[in-house]
Chains A and B, each alone.
Chain A
Amino acid sequence: GAGAGVGAGAGAERCPAAWLPALQLLRRGSKAVTRHWKAMHFQRQKLLALTEYLPPRPAVPPRCLPRHTPEGHQEDGYVRVLRRQVEETLRSSRMVAVCQYNSMADEDVVTLRHFLRKHNIHVKFFLNEVVRPVLAQSKYRNLLPLFVCRNILLVSPETRAREMLRVLKGVPQVNLLGACIDDTILSRQGVENFARLPPLEASQGQTVAALSLLSSQTSSLLQQGPAHLTALLDEHIRQLREAGESTEPPPGQSTAND
């Protein structure tokens, strides 16, 4: 009675005037709000199926349309700052070593930084995309193929290759790939040879000695003849003096007449 009446009233609000059932059975089975999933009324199911959202599909799938290449993105201010930093670093250092960086524990990184800092070598991390354009325009053009995958730069205003190699030998995760020392691009072997060179003063002394060796040899060669002659004459005089004190010294006169 009451349920059917309420149903008819609510039905009048929901349905349009054309379709109004005489009686609506609402209290059928369970209530509206249940603890289990309640099966939808068939009409409700039909309505929902009809009004399902179908996304619009273009006639040609978008992946078949010609794709326009992304225009050159505006240069980020941050990237510009980083590039300026790279230029500054490269300009102020005599030795630039490029190493491959495989993941290391953080404390190892700090220890490595500490030991290299003792020899005035700075460890720099740069992204490849930042460094590559800077390198392409500077004199380090030939180091470009080194900059793939993760790298670190060891820069220093001095050229202490021996200490750097010794520190890097203790760190297997950092592999030296190449370096540019005093505007000379070196491979790993080059760096090792450079480290084995004697210090500058010793090599300067060696060069001076090598250069003066020839001239000293020449002078000794030139002096050999007269020196030999002088020695022979001295010996002769001595022999004559020993032989006879009384006889006049004929060799002195005979040489004077020549």
Chain B
Amino acid sequence: KKMASKIIVVLRPVKSIVVRFCPFEPNVESTRKFLQCIYHKKIQATNTNCEVTADVRHDGSEPVVDVTFADGDRLIMKGANLTTGEMLTALASRCNAKDLKEEQKNKKKNP
């Protein structure tokens, strides 16, 4: 299986990412690793406008990753039972799909 840190995500269509977790809970490891991978300089370099926020709470809530895209879509991933790789591949696939749509729209506009 591919290591989570090797998965490259192109964050161009992403506006902001909020990672919410409660560090004293036992199920936050994959979410924390996800946050760590997002902060890698290669992924940060793909989009410097993307704001990544870490929301550290203490209310026993589940770990949640909330991604807001530039065209208004939202992707909410509940990290309690997901692995880091799964979350990253899900985000990467959606980013690529949006990128493709953007390119097709641009091509249609400027033939």
A interface, CB within 8 angstroms of B = 100, 102-103, 105, 142, 145-146, 148-150, 172-173, 175-178, 187-190
Q: Which residues of B contact A173 (CB under 8 A)?
A: 39
26 contacts between A and B (CB under 8 A): A100-B54, A102-B35, A102-B39, A103-B36, A103-B40, A142-B24, A145-B23, A146-B23, A146-B24, A148-B28, A149-B32, A149-B33, A150-B36, A172-B53, A173-B39, A176-B56, A178-B23, A178-B24, A178-B58, A187-B24, A187-B56, A188-B56, A188-B57, A189-B57, A189-B58, A190-B58
Q: Which residues of A contact B35 (CB under 8 A)?
A: 100, 102, 175
Q: What number of A-B contacts does a CB cutoff of 8 Å give?
A: 51
Kindly provide the distance from the CB of A115 to the nearest chain B CB, expressed in whole angstroms.
20
Q: Which residue of A lies closest to B39 (CB)?
A: A102
A190 to B24 Cα, complex, angstroms: 13
Encoded as 1 (CB less than 8 Å from any A CB) or 0, chain B from 55 to 87 comes to 011100000000000000000000000000000
Q: Which residue of A lies closest to B28 (CB)?
A: A148
Chain A: interface secondary structure?
mixed
Q: Are A149 and B24 in contact (CB under 8 A)?
A: no
Known A-B contacts A145-B26, A148-B29, A177-B23; A188 and B58 likewise in contact (beta carbons under 8 Å): yes
Chain B: interface secondary structure?
mixed
Known A-B contacts A146-B24, A177-B23, A178-B23; A103 and B32 likewise in contact (beta carbons under 8 Å): no
Q: Are B56 and A177 in contact (CB under 8 A)?
A: yes
A187 to B40 Cα, complex, angstroms: 26
Q: Which residue of A lies closest to B27 (CB)?
A: A145
Q: Which 5 A-B pairs have the closest CB atoms?
A: A102-B39, A187-B58, A177-B23, A175-B54, A149-B32
Is B91's beta carbon under 8 Å from chain A?
A: no
Is B103's beta carbon under 8 Å from chain A?
A: no
Q: Which residues of A contact B25 (CB under 8 A)?
A: 145
Q: Which residues of A contact B24 (CB under 8 A)?
A: 142, 145-146, 178, 187
Q: Are B41 and A105 in contact (CB under 8 A)?
A: yes
Kindly provide the distance from the CB of B92 to the nearest chain A CB, expressed in whole angstroms.
18
A103 to B41 Cα, complex, angstroms: 7
Q: B residues 16-53 with Cβ under 8 Å of A?
A: 23-26, 28-29, 32-33, 35-36, 38-41, 52-53
A94 to B58 Cα, complex, angstroms: 22
A150 to B29 Cα, complex, angstroms: 11
A187 to B22 Cα, complex, angstroms: 9
